């Protein structure tokens, strides 16, 4: 079997969308290739017993850069992979250098922030490494455009949409009742759900200030449940978002309508999707900090939950307007408010264009099986091309 080396800072046990994505890169490619992994401490818990690996600390950054490079280089010299995949831009420099030393082709998967990261050292060192890779995978066409604007050759870029777990029909049963009971919520409450890291980009502060008061006024039995923690392990983040969200709710007198659940298990997350009436995604259009795709909107869709979102970054590629939700002009809070109110008022209406079935149909287009077939095909193409040129 051909060997592939996956090197990434984002891998379980660290939590987040990029961590899940890189784990699925490993899982899917390991079905057809011999995949070895270089990643953060404790990754063996998430690898098959036969997988060879090396570990390195993911922080502080100078320690991460030093140990990740030398550990990965030793693994590459030993294993001699035909292909190296960098899970994000932050490992692109190491992957590219090691690829040159070991005569292996290199792919970097970028997610948006990888190319707009404003740090000058990153722009001077890592962007040239990304440009020099043999292929670039992007999570959306929006990210592809950002990469092209930063000088990446368009013929190197391949769009690879992240995948999602398609739930079994028999799991969609008692979860909603149990979820509400555990939180002490009555069955008639209407739940708006927000899922994701608590960052400024997610727009929850502004949503609570500019939309939520009128939504609650029109629908007093409406609450906002927020799932997710502050991104303490991320490279580009500011702390304090939770406190600012709390203060915004207090300022508007909405403390009793906002619930923080923090990090939850996969089972609890599934139950939250099934128990809610709308997924809220009021993402902001911030310079130097963009939403590359919006995988959470796909996750909501496979459970039949529609999304109301601002059409920012790669979000329009994750939300199908009038099929899996509604796309609102960025920053148009009156339109966001009106859309949420109308949707809650017409949940069981036969005139509702967005239905649980239409959401599930859209979500099914992003299964991990489809993702796996796509990346396996791209890997084979690059390996074959390299062998023919030798």
Degrees to nearest 5, angle at CA 107 with 299 and 58: 70
Q: Are 83 and 383 in contact (CB under 8 A)?
A: yes
The segments of the chain whose pLDDT lies below 70 read 169-177, 232-239, 350, 390
Sign of CA dihedral 180, 185, 190, 196: negative
Mind listing the pLDDT tens digit for each residue in 97-134? 999 999 999 999 999 888 888 889 999 999 999 999 99
Q: Give buried/exposed letters for 198-228 (b at 16+ CB in 10 A, else e).
A: bbbbbbbbbbbbbbbbbbbeebeebbbbbbb
Nearest-CA neighbor of 245 among 234, 237, 257? 257
Q: Rounded to 5 degrees, what are φ and ψ at 130?
A: -60, -45
What's the CA gap between 20 and 201, in Å, rounded? 20
Amino acid 385: pLDDT:
85
Amino acid 285: pLDDT:
85
Amino acid 66: pLDDT:
95
Both tokens of 113, joined, read 């922030």
Amino acid 347: pLDDT:
81
| Parallel, antiparallel or unpaired: strands 307-310 and 278-281 | parallel
Amino acid 182: pLDDT:
87
């Amino acid at each position: 079997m051909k060997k592939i080396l996956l090197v990434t800072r984002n891998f379980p046990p660290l939590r987040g969308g990029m961590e899940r994505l890189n784990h699925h890169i490993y899982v899917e490619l390991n079905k057809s290739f011999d995949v070895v992994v270089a990643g953060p401490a404790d990754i063996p818990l998430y690898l098959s017993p036969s997988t060879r690996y090396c570990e390195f600390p993911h922080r502080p950054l100078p320690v991460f850069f030093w140990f990740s490079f030398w550990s990965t280089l030793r693994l590459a010299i030993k294993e001699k992979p035909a292909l190296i995949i960098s899970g994000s831009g932050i490992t692109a420099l190491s992957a590219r250098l090691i690829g040159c030393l070991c005569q292996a082709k290199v792919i970097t998967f970028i997610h948006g922030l990888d190319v707009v990261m404003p740090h000058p050292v990153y722009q001077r060192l890592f962007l040239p490494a990304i440009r020099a890779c043999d292929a670039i995978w992007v999570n959306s066409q929006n990210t592809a455009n950002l990469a092209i604007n930063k000088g990446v050759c368009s013929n190197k870029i391949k769009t690879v949409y992240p995948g999602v777990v398609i739930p079994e029909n028999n799991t969609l049963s008692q979860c909603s009742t149990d979820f509400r009971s555990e939180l002490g919520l009555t069955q008639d409450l209407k739940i708006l759900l927000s899922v994701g890291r608590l960052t400024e980009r997610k727009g929850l502060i502004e949503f609570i200030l500019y939309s939520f008061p009128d939504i609650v006024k029109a629908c007093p039995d409406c609450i906002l449940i927020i799932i997710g923690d502050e991104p303490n392990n991320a490279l580009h983040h500011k702390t304090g978002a939770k406190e600012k969200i709390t203060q915004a709710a207090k300022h508007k007198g909405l403390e009793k309508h906002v619930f923080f659940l923090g990090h939850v298990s996969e089972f609890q997350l599934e139950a939250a999707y099934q128990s809610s009436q709308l997924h809220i995604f009021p993402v902001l259009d911030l310079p130097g900090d963009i939403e590359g795709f919006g995988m959470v909107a796909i996750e909501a869709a496979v459970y039949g939950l529609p999304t109301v979102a601002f059409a920012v970054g790669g979000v329009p590629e994750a939300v199908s307007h009038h099929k899996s939700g509604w796309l609102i002009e960025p920053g148009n809070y009156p339109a966001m408010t009106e859309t949420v109110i109308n949707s809650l008022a017409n949940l069981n209406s036969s005139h509702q264009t967005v239905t649980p079935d239409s959401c599930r149909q859209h979500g099914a287009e992003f299964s991990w099986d489809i993702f796996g077939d796509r990346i396996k095909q791209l890997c084979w193409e690059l390996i074959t091309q390299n062998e023919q040129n030798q």
